[in-house]
Structure 1
Amino acid sequence: MKLRVFTLAAILLGGAAASAEPDIAALKALHRRPASIPFPEAAPYSPQLATLGKMLFFDPRLSGMQNLSCASCHNPSFGYEVPVPGAIGATNTPLGRKAPTILNAAWMPVLFWDGRAPTLEAQAQGPITAAVEMNGKFPEIVGRLKAIPDYDAQFRRLFPETGASREAVLTAIATYERTVVAGWAPFDRWVEGSEDAITPAAKRGFALFAGKARCAACHTGWNFTDNKFHDLGIPTRDLGRAGVAPDEPGARHAFKTPGLRNLTYRAPFGHAGQFADLEAILAFYESGGIDRPSKSPLMHRFELSAPERLDLLAFLRSLTAEQTETALPNLPN
């Protein structure tokens, strides 16, 4: 990983030093899709486990009032987000942050905007048990699942030592979430050699993304995220990463870099949905954000011409795969 980051930095800095365009061929190689999904040794993939996890992901019976599921805030129709600034929880009021997508979460070393969950299993537990989110209690959830014959049979088959349990529920959900991978976008086909897969405008936009605009300083790799935390100078009272790691340098008002796949379906943008569309968040980035001691040194003001702005937007939209309908599971009674 360190070699990969160094290589990207060398490409970017080398292009800047020479006042030349970035090395597009090298950048293509850095943004090529991985060949397989990484699963932890302790929870290897099985289709039966992923199927169970998908059922649980869409089942509102995991919430305290049995009216909210994981999919309530991570809706496949909206890039596994929802089109509102703040997620809606158990109290039916908006929460302080937008629900982040679970697309490509298998490759994320930390989860949530502030990185407080080190694994998908830990991430899955957070919303289920949070009083302001799903407000579920695992003793009740496990009892409920054991009382449903089909669920009980699946858990006994997949977890013969324990049957349904908190750990089993979280393992199943995390296994399903790891299978939620963004489909092939026009950009991916271009990376693999299909020159006509994206427009000339999108190609120019990619050069701007990696060069003049320096978006790739944080939005790097095939999922377009460094999985690190940065204060972008967005006006907010939210401490961000500092609420989890107060002694970490640069943590105040810093949030995890989101991936950029399937952006077309994922508005609004920002950790609290502050930006209604791609045009709005691009305008903010051009402004450089507000100055404060914690602001990332990577965040700087820049200015694009109107044609350049359209090119950059064309590139960002080329990262969206064709929308396919997610088959909803039949939930057992």
Structure 2
Amino acid sequence: MAWKVGAAVSAALTMGIAVSVAQAPAPQRAAWRAEYRAPESIPFPESNPYSRVKAELGRRLFFDPILSGDRTRSCASCHQPDLAWTDGLRRALGRTGGDMEFHTPSLLNLAWQEGRFGWDGKFRDLEAVAFGPISAPGNMNLSAEEAVRRLSADPGYAAAFAGAFPDPAVTRERIEAALATFERLIVSAPAPFDAWVAGDEGAISEAAKRGFDLFNGRANCAACHSGWSFSDGSFHDVGVGRGEDVGRGRFVPTSQALQYAFKTPGLRELRGRAHFMHDGSLDSLAAVIDLYDRGGIDRPSRSSEIRPLNLSAAEKADILAFLDTLNAGAASSVAVADIPAAAPKP
């Protein structure tokens, strides 16, 4: 079941970027552009179909500290709408003040991600993610049993669950379903890149167009960052993890290819994210491009798609110009708050 994305996102914003020296486009540019067309609908699984009341319940749960042991943290404590649904920190801040294991991932466009979730793939699907942070002692520190008890005892929540599900009982599975329904509505707004893909040649600069050609061609970024959401949803060793930080390899120790492999993140709204990679170890997009240019750590598990690129300074600047066109601006970070009330019925 799906509903129109147009009801969920705001109008496209354009940005002016200086035009550089003209250069012939790559022969494949038109075909590449077609692969990035915006989808017409947001997909929802048959096991957890969309409904307005369930989405609104999920939104309320997402922002409510009732789901933390001491009632001081919520999902939004780490996934902040005005920071591209992350937290702006190198690594997520733990309940007692120390850093948690990973950099907080953005929640943008999760509806289009397939396969397992989490930097290391520890979650089978989006529904399974919720109680990872909720029950973690270093994060929200609330057991599933206590979460069910609290919500059942709250008259407002009891009524909300009764309205969102066939019977009034509050259960762990229904908490997960409501949160996942809301999170699938967190969709990035149209960016200048989308206007260009739709046919507006003036929406992005010539430098950004050259960067697009590099992204899909010689730089090979699209091997992993593919499609409208710029993620293949898979796990790759890009030459970052070290020591015991083996990512997906923790769960699949017999697979050489999955040692030091981490989930491919999407690339939209990067301007608001501040730190990059699963461990937050890189502070700028320029540093990320330098990493890929070097090829990361050369080892047996490193993805076959990763190799030294020997990009020039001008080529790196063009790729940065392209990535900047994937930013729609603040509107995409806050528009989701109005989605449950505005979304059409399925």
Question: With structure 2 as the length reference, what TM-score do the two structures score?
Answer: 0.86
Tell me how far 1:235 sits from its aligned partner.
Answer: 4.6
SS in 2 for 1:242: helix
Q: 2:6 — aligned with what? A: none
Deviations 1:223-280 (A, max 9, x none): 1111111111115230100112222341111101111111111120000101101111
The 2-side partners of 1:198 and 1:255 are apart by: 31
1:193 maps to 2:199: yes
Deviations 1:130-162 (A, max 9, x none): 222211112211221122221111112222424
Correspondence list, 1:1-333, <5 A? 21-109=26-114, 110-237=116-243, 238-324=245-331, 326=334
Contact 1:74-1:99 within 8 A present in 2 as well: yes
The 2-side partners of 1:323 and 1:22 are apart by: 34
SS in 2 for 1:37: strand
The 2-side partners of 1:29 and 1:303 are apart by: 28
Tell me how far 1:119 sits from its aligned partner.
Answer: 1.3
The code of the aligned residue for 1:193 comes to G
Deviations 1:66-91 (A, max 9, x none): 11111111111111111111111223
Q: 1:5 — aligned with what? A: none
CA root-mean-square deviation = 1.6
5+ long unaligned stretches in structure 1: 1-19
Contact 1:231-1:295 within 8 A present in 2 as well: yes
Deviations 1:161-212 (A, max 9, x none): 2422211111100000000011101101100011111111111110011112
Tell me how far 1:124 sits from its aligned partner.
Answer: 1.5
The code of the aligned residue for 1:25 comes to A
SS in 2 for 1:326: helix
The 2-side partners of 1:291 and 1:305 are apart by: 21
Q: 2:8 — aligned with what? A: none
With CA pairs under 8 Å and 6+ residues apart, which has the higher RCO, 1 or 2? 2
The 2-side partners of 1:100 and 1:49 are apart by: 24
Task: Find runs of 4+ consecutive structure 1 residues off by over 3 angstroms.
Answer: none
Tell me how far 1:103 sits from its aligned partner.
Answer: 0.7
Deviations 1:81-128 (A, max 9, x none): 111111112232111210111111111122101112121110112111
The 2-side partners of 1:160 and 1:298 are apart by: 48
Contact 1:22-1:210 within 8 A present in 2 as well: no
Contact 1:241-1:253 within 8 A present in 2 as well: yes
SS in 1 for 2:178: helix
Contact 2:131-2:144 within 8 A present in 1 as well: no
The code of the aligned residue for 1:222 comes to W
Task: Give me the identity figure in percent.
Answer: 47
The 2-side partners of 1:320 and 1:310 are apart by: 16
The code of the aligned residue for 1:52 comes to L
Contact 1:157-1:163 within 8 A present in 2 as well: no
Question: With structure 1 as the length reference, what TM-score do the two structures score?
Answer: 0.89
Contact 2:159-2:168 within 8 A present in 1 as well: no
Q: 1:10 — aligned with what? A: none
The 2-side partners of 1:134 and 1:245 are apart by: 28
